[in-house]
């Protein structure tokens, strides 16, 4: 039962991150190299490399995306305005 709730939590967070970043699911699918239909069936699972690529594209930590922590943290900090 715990595994199933993680899967559904993942997809909720994935959709939330796409919306927050203004990134389409199609764009993420192309970036990580999967069919965009993958994101429309919550029973689908991504392999670890695809999850890592999604984190990079959406700039969210894997621990947040996977539901391990509740605090949404960026994967990397913006370098804009820094010299």
Q: Read off the pLDDT of residues 22-39 as tens digits, 9 standing for 90 and up.
A: 999 899 999 999 888 877
What is the reported pLDDT for 16? 94
pLDDT band at residue 78 under the 50/70/90 scheme: low
Per-residue pLDDT for 81 more than 80? no
Domains parsed from the chain with CATH numbers: 2-65 (1.10.260.40)
Per-residue pLDDT for 4 more than 80? no
Tokens of 31: 């970036």
**Rounded alpha-carbon distances, angstroms, from residue 21 to 3, 34, 56, 64, 83:** 27, 19, 12, 15, 25
User: Does pTM surpass 0.85?
Assistant: no
């Amino acid at each position: 039962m715990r595994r199933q709730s993680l899967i559904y939590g993942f997809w909720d967070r994935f959709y939330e991150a796409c919306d927050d970043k203004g990134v389409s699911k199609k764009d993420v699918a192309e970036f990580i190299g999967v069919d965009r239909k993958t994101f429309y069936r919550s029973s689908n699972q991504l392999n670890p490399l695809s999850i890592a690529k999604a984190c990079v594209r959406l700039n969210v930590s894997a621990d947040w995306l996977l539901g391990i922590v509740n605090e949404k943290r960026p994967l990397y900090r913006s370098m804009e305005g820094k010299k």
